[in-house]
Amino acid sequence: MNTSTESGAPGMVPLPGGVGVSQLRVYGTTAPDGLVGGTPHLHLCCTEAYVVQAGAGTVQTLTMSGFEQTVLRPGTVVWFTPGTIHRLVNHGGLEITVLMQNSGLPEAGDAVLTFPPAVLADPQRYAAAATLPGGGAPDDVPPSDGAPSATLAAAYARRDLAVLGFERLRAAADAGDFGPLQDFHRAAARLVAPHLPRWRERFAAGALRAAQDTAAQLDALAAGRSEHLAAATVRGFAVPGEQGRHGMCGLLNTYPIR
């Protein structure tokens, strides 16, 4: 098996359907509302799926249908479409394999956190609140006193600010008022607009390419041709390309899929 870990290596092919994959250990510290876990956010053009590997918890979701909670335990699979605000709550040792549409775009920009409206209204203020030191890269050496690193502390502060905004959206929805949620949708769309050309490139190289390849293979088979089968190959990674990246929901082990 080819286990090259070079991103963009010659002959690199997408994962099935052009998805991305990562391993997630959900944060284990307490947010302002007393719950332990990750940062509430949504994706705008990507479906995301969780395959629970260990531990226990829930995923809280908020859509125009209202607030829901889904129990997570080993073996659970749950997925949600664009526009679903989601927040992982960790009841202990929660570890998840995450599958992401469009070659992992949710971890590469397609995400808006549920900050309060004043932060969402100012792109510079939003970027300052959402961006972690070093882009969230893994810590080289943890602090010797047991305190969280600067990056981890920033991730917790980011989470706490998003929880405050999420509580507002949930309370309004629980009262039957979905206006604040619609306002959040519009603010999120404005914030990501400058990044859409890069997202289109990622989509074209991943999910679109995978669909086009399948269409071409079906055409070939319908014509009685099988030459594409001779080009079969095996690809893989022996280990994650990066371990311990500070994500929105926890620490990530990632793979350089594209």
Higher pLDDT: 36 or 108? It is 36
| Segment 91-122, tens digit of pLDDT | 999 999 999 999 889 888 899 999 999 999 99
Q: What are the DSSP E strand ranges found in the chain?
A: 20-26, 41-42, 48-63, 66-72, 77-80, 85-100, 112-113, 242-246, 250-254
- Residue 170 has a pLDDT of 99
Residue 4 located in a structural domain: no
Evaluate whether residue 79 is within a structural domain.
yes
Decide if 30 is inside a domain.
yes
Residue 181 resides in a domain: yes
Instruction: Give percent of the chain above pLDDT 70.
Output: 92
Task: Give the CATH number for residue 46.
Answer: 2.60.120.10
The CA distance from 129 to 123, in Å, is 10
pTM for the model stands at 0.92
Between CA 179 and CA 214, with CA 49 as vertex, the angle to 5 degrees is 115
Q: How many domains does the chain have?
A: 1
The CA distance from 76 to 54, in Å, is 10
Residue 48's domain comprises 16-139+147-222+239-254
Instruction: Give residue 160's pLDDT.
Output: 99
Residue-averaged pLDDT of the chain: 93
Looking at residue 8, what is its pLDDT? Answer: 41
Query: pLDDT tens for residues 106-164?
Result: 888 899 999 999 999 999 999 999 999 999 999 876 655 667 899 999 999 999 999 99
**pLDDT for res 104:** 87
For 193, phi then psi, to 5°, come to -50, -40
Alpha-carbon span 57 to 89, nearest angstrom = 5
Confidence at residue 5, expressed as pLDDT on a 0 to 100 scale: 41
Residue 231 lies in a domain: no
Question: Residues 35-70, buried b or exposed e (16+ Cβ, 10 A)?
Answer: bbbbbbbbbbbbbbbbebbebbbbbbbbbeeeeeee
What is the mean predicted confidence (pLDDT) over 221-248?
Answer: 96
pLDDT at 60 over 70: yes
Q: What residue spans of the chain are helical by DSSP H?
A: 101-104, 117-120, 123-130, 150-174, 179-192, 196-203, 209-222
pLDDT for the residue numbered 257: 80
Tokens of 251: 């620490």
List the end-to-end C-alpha distance of the chain, in Å, as a whole number. 18
pLDDT at 11: 54
User: In whole angstroms, how far apart are CA 77 and each of 17, 121, 161?
Assistant: 18, 35, 28
Confidence band of 31 (pLDDT split at 50, 70, 90): very high
* pLDDT score of 183 more than 50: yes
Q: What is the mean pLDDT of residues 42-56?
A: 98
User: Is 60 exceeded by the pLDDT of residue 1?
Assistant: no
In this structure, the dihedral spanned by the alpha carbons of residues 200, 205, 206 and 207, taken in order and rounded to 10 degrees, is: 60
- pLDDT for the residue numbered 139: 83
Rounded to an integer, what distance in angstroms lies between the CA atom of residue 89 and that of residue 29?
Answer: 10
- The answer to the question of residue 8 being in a domain is no
Kindly state whether residue 47 falls inside one of the protein's structural domains: yes
In a domain, 5, yes or no: no
User: Cα–Cα distance between 231 and 214 in angstroms, integer?
Assistant: 14
Does residue 174 register a pLDDT over 90? Answer: yes
Residue 33 has pLDDT above 70, yes or no: yes
